[in-house]
Amino acid sequence: MSLSSTRRAVGAAVAALALAATGSVTANAAPAADTSGAAGVSGPAGERAAGLREVMFVGNNWDGTADVIEARGDFAKIGRVDVVPDKEERLREIYLNPLKLAFFLGIRQGPGEGHDQFVDDMYSTPDGSAMVVSRPSFADVVSIDLATGKINWRFPVSGFRSDHMAVSPDGTRVAVSASTSNTVHVLDIRTGEQTGSFKTGDKPHENVFTDGGRYLWNMSIGEVNTALDAPWLDWTKGDRRITVVDTRTYQQVKVIDMRERLDAFGREDLSDSVRPVALTPDESKLYFQVSFFNGFVEYDVATDRVTRVKTLPKNPATSEDRTTWVNDSRHHGMSMSPRGDKLCVAGTMDDYATVVDRATLQESPPVPASKPYWATVSGDGRSCVISESGSDSVTAIDFATGKKVASVAVGDHPQRVRIAQVPAGWTSPAAR
């Protein structure tokens, strides 16, 4: 069956499911998820537009910088971008507003682990001229000119913190989670103008465009910054769900409550807080991590049910005190090989990463890593690339062998890593 045929079949199955469902599922259809990259951004096969160079952006959250590295090979560092060139102006604005200051300090002591969070997520524009960055502590999204280092536009999100983003397949829109207002904003990537927004569950997190950009899925993770982490206190974590909207109207078309699906599978013990996700190339299966769990869940999109759960090894040195795990995540970061046969998992609190065979769910020997926080795919599709936030490095692991192939030093506390593009011959603004 062709990919387009598979998409139509899965979409039809989910449409039928949504029409028949009641309770937490609303409206008529939720399409299969689309894992294709934004137009103009190099994909796993390494396609790139004329005059552009494929790279990776690495967001150094506590530094307020983004390193630009090679997207394959030795992953050598190419340059660095200051993503907070307006830092003094923003801090002055915050310190003159008691409410903003309270949230700013709360972010520092909560998700920031005692540090300000200056970069969460970032993407390149289709023409490679700018980097678009979400800055949690400044509660905004900015576009930074890659030639001058200056800000092209700034969009303050609703509430007091910005988080994960996603770019539409055509590269024209960027979605950003505003985590304290339970809102996702969708912006024109070139101008920063809002094209739409919608409400979510508590603390929106991951965003995924689907069906060629027609739909947008948001995963809300609930309250992850309290010490109320005992299983019997799970009810305090809030409304955690997947919200699906039609990007033509930004109206809700489906809500997926994973609590019901996990319970039906017999895993009442697992949190329903959906963290990083990965989709199969045929868009039929969703893999996702949940709070407090060393492993991941497989969800069949067409039948709307959990089909498998994989438990990964624990590190004996990891404390079993759940309050010590960063933002409730024991494991945080997943990616899938372009062929869809391998998953790469970042075992954040267990200090390793591993490649898992998707058919058998057998994992490869763990690759030691210091608090790996994210996982993505290299430009040539051969490697899983993880950020090691504990050692300020980025490491590549071969999908075929499960072994480490390269590592490069980056800035303070790297988190998100994204495939991007810059003009051929680009050098960082600081070097000009």
pLDDT in tens, 18-52: 333 333 333 333 444 434 333 333 343 344 567 99
> pLDDT at position 304, please?
96
Query: What average pLDDT does range 249-274 have in this prediction?
Result: 96
Place 110 in a pLDDT band, splitting at 50, 70 and 90: confident
Greater model confidence, 185 or 212: 185
> pLDDT at position 16, please?
35
Q: How much of the chain, in percent, has pLDDT values that exceed 90?
A: 83
Tell me which of 142-146, 222-226, 260-264, 391-395 is least confident.
222-226
- Long-range Cβ contact pairs of 316-323 (< 8 A, separation 24 or more): 317/351, 318/349, 318/350, 318/351, 322/229, 322/230, 322/292, 323/227, 323/229
Q: Contact 213/232 with Cβ under 8 angstroms?
A: no
- For residue 237, the enclosing domain spans 3-431
Query: What average pLDDT does range 97-113 have in this prediction?
Result: 93
> pLDDT at position 50, please?
75
- With vertex at residue 74, the alpha carbon angle to CA 68 and CA 79, rounded to the nearest 5 degrees, is 20
Q: How much of the chain, in percent, has pLDDT values that exceed 70?
A: 88
pLDDT in tens, 286-333: 999 999 999 999 999 999 999 999 999 999 999 999 999 999 999 999
pTM above 0.95, yes or no: no
Name, in order, each residue with C-beta under 8 angstroms of 306's C-beta and a sequence gap of 6 or more: 258, 261, 262, 264, 265, 267, 297, 298, 299, 300
Per the document, the length of the chain is 432
> pLDDT at position 342, please?
98
Query: What average pLDDT does range 337-366 have in this prediction?
Result: 97
Q: Contact 298/25 with Cβ under 8 angstroms?
A: no
Per the structure, the count of domains in the chain is 1
Give the 3-state secondary structure of the chain.
CCHHHHHHHHHHHHHHHHHHCCCCCCCCCCCCECCCCCCCCCCCCCCCCCCEEEEEEEEECCCCEEEEEECCCCCCEEEEEECCCCHHHHHHHHHCCHHHHHHHHHHHHCCCCCCCCCCCEEEECCCCCEEEEEEHHHCEEEEEECCCCCEEEEEECCCCCEEEEEECCCCCEEEEEECCCCEEEEEECCCCCEEEEEECCCCEEEEEEEHHHCEEEEEECCCCCCCCCCHHHHHHHCCCCEEEEECCCCEEEEEECHHHHHHHHCCCCCCCCEEEEEECCCCCEEEEEECCCCEEEEEECCCCEEEEEEECCCCCCCCCCHHHCHHHCCCCCEEECCCCCEEEEEECCCCEEEEEECCCCCECCCEECCCEEEEEECCCCCEEEEEECCCCEEEEEECCCCCEEEEEECCCCEEEEEEEEEECCCCCHHHC
Which CATH number characterizes residue 416's domain?
A: 2.130.10.10
Please report where in the chains the tokens 């949230």 appear, as a residue. 103
Q: From residue 422, how far is each of 52, 63, 203, 411 by CA, in Å?
A: 6, 21, 32, 20
Q: Contact 66/76 with Cβ under 8 angstroms?
A: no
Place 431 in a pLDDT band, splitting at 50, 70 and 90: low
Tell me which of 207-211, 243-247, 270-274, 400-404 is least confident.
207-211
